[in-house]
Structure 1
Amino acid sequence: MAPRRLHLPLLRLPLLPLLLLASASLIVGCGGHTTERDTVEVAGYGEIKTTPDRFRVRAVSSRSGDDIPGMKQEVDSEIRAALSLAEALGLPERQVRATGITIQPEWQWQPERKLIGHRVARDIELAVDGIEAYADLLEGLTQLGFTELHQASAELADPQAHEREVLQKAVANARDKAETLAQAAGRELGEAVIIREQSGHQGPQPMLAMARESADTSSAYSAGEITLTRQVQVRFELK
């Protein structure tokens, strides 16, 4: 009689644990750990001071009384004159904005509440480039009869150019700080691996200083100064 063969069941192992086991063996064979880069992270601050070159003015034409149609006609006439002035000064249409007319009642409160008339008004907002053009605009509006003039803002006509400059200063400031720290620790500074701009660090709104020397056309205006600031967070590699 031929000897009987024993048939043992084939042991099947899942593929994923085998792959994980092989990977673990490979890591152990290579030293068993990986290394991370040494870094230093610092905040950089940039600041520039510059002179505003675009100025916005809001002029209000208004009349008070009982003749609403007549007052409306006078107000519209003044606004049309302001639009003609803007055209004469060469202002682009995008830098001129005239609002619609408003009519509001005016009351007398003492000794009793009493309607005494109406106020009819229109606003026009104009933006000019350059302090000389700003002075010419104010003089022209005054000669047209506008008595209510407001400075809307003093700003930069091309803010992006200054934005690049102040950001470059902020990054340079961060690198200078990081180099100081690296040298103090006996290390060399490598490349920047992460750069983040910090939000909420806008410069203060510019203020326009005006000095009226006399009642004639010789007037002096000072544009003042704008301070722009930015802050960045930069991580550098250490060698």
Structure 2
Amino acid sequence: MLWNRKWVLVPVLALAVGVGTVFGAASHNGNEVYAVDNSAIVQKSTITVAGTGKLQVTPDVAYVNVSVETHATTAKDAQAQNATQFAGLKKVLFTTYKMAEKDVKTTGFYVQPEYSYDQKTGESKVKGYVATHSVQITTRNLDGIGQLLDALSASGVNRVEGVQFDTEKQDQYELQALDKAMANARAKADTLAKAAGKQVKEVISISQNSVNAGPIYYGQGNMAAADSAMSGSKAPTSIETGTINVSTDITVVYEMQ
């Protein structure tokens, strides 16, 4: 019987000792006190690097912003003249160029008075009215933008606000930039780890900080060719598309060994 009791008690005591090592014992007031065995915690060796991915892409879409502006002594006449000239713009876009309605949208329409200032009396008087109808035209025929502007000027457009080149494949290009950024981060990590006498083991975390794919914008200040075409010059309008810079930045944490 004594042998049997000893066989039962030894494992129980061993278990109690094991538990006591990890958790400690209860205090006299009933509140439990815990002790952590720090020898079980393994501190990982890590390295944090920044990665950058950049690429240049060719624009595949352009947004052309133009306006029809008319002047008259009354608001009604200014608006009527504007409607007549705007009809010529629509004919070019929808009949000549067969554009989809979704690619032509009005961005502004207003009729407002024009004033003249009398320096003798110091008073301002209404001298007439101006009507302005602005539209944004989306085109994917980038080689034909100069011809489009010339055709629009002949139809009645007398203001060009600018041309903006962009891409409709931004998501695709962002993924390519991320690939480059990740490769850039790994190259940095390998170099730093080697200098420290270690090797990169695996990725612990990745975060994307920013992505940029700014469009190319040609405003009124650099649209001299279009202005000359509208003033009667026979020289064709020429617009260069250029390239779009796509870039992204990431932060990667690697484990080293």
Cα distance, 1:19 vs structure 2: 10
Alignment of 1:216 onto 2:234: yes
CA RMSD of superposed structures (Å)? 3.0
Cα distance, 1:123 vs structure 2: 0.9
8 Å CA contact 2:88–2:156 kept in 1: the answer is no
1:103 alignment partner, one of 108, 111, 122: 111
Paired residue type of 1:206 = I
Secondary structure at 2:39 match in 1: coil
8 Å CA contact 2:150–2:236 kept in 1: the answer is no
Name 1:70's counterpart in structure 2.
Answer: 77
Which stretch shifts more, 210-219 or 119-128? Answer: 210-219
Name 1:4's counterpart in structure 2.
Answer: none
Which stretch shifts more, 218-227 or 136-145? Answer: 218-227
Name 1:139's counterpart in structure 2.
Answer: 150
Paired residue type of 2:205 = I
Name 1:11's counterpart in structure 2.
Answer: none
C-alpha distance 31-49 of structure 1, shift in aligned 2 (>3 A): closer
Specify every segment of 5 or more residues in structure 1 that has no aligned partner in the other structure, as ranges.
1-17
Deviations along 1:193-232, one digit per CA (max 9) or x if unpaired, are: 2110113x52444234767498336443211222222110
Name 2:212's counterpart in structure 1.
Answer: 202
8 Å CA contact 2:75–2:113 kept in 1: the answer is no
Alignment of 1:231 onto 2:241: no
Secondary structure at 2:90 match in 1: helix
C-alpha distance 99-196 of structure 1, shift in aligned 2 (>3 A): closer
**1:184 and 1:68 mapped to 2: Cα distance?**
76
Alignment of 1:85 onto 2:92: yes
Paired residue type of 2:234 = D
8 Å CA contact 1:211–1:222 kept in 2: the answer is no
Cα distance, 1:174 vs structure 2: 0.6
**1:125 and 1:167 mapped to 2: Cα distance?**
32
Deviations along 1:109-128, one digit per CA (max 9) or x if unpaired, are: 13232111111111111111
8 Å CA contact 2:75–2:112 kept in 1: the answer is no
- TM-score by length of structure 2 reads 0.74
8 Å CA contact 1:45–1:232 kept in 2: the answer is yes
**1:40 and 1:117 mapped to 2: Cα distance?**
70
Name 1:44's counterpart in structure 2.
Answer: 51
8 Å CA contact 2:147–2:237 kept in 1: the answer is no
Alignment of 1:34 onto 2:41: yes
Secondary structure at 1:73 match in 2: helix
**1:160 and 1:90 mapped to 2: Cα distance?**
29
Name 1:113's counterpart in structure 2.
Answer: 124
**1:20 and 1:109 mapped to 2: Cα distance?**
95
Q: How does 1:13-24 map to 2 (within 5 A)?
A: 21=20, 23-24=22-23
Aligned length: 220
8 Å CA contact 2:147–2:236 kept in 1: the answer is no
Name 2:8's counterpart in structure 1.
Answer: none
Identity of aligned residues (%): 22
C-alpha distance 121-19 of structure 1, shift in aligned 2 (>3 A): farther
Deviations along 1:81-129, one digit per CA (max 9) or x if unpaired, are: 3233222424333321024631111111132321111111111111111
**1:121 and 1:227 mapped to 2: Cα distance?**
34
**1:92 and 1:143 mapped to 2: Cα distance?**
21
Paired residue type of 1:207 = Y
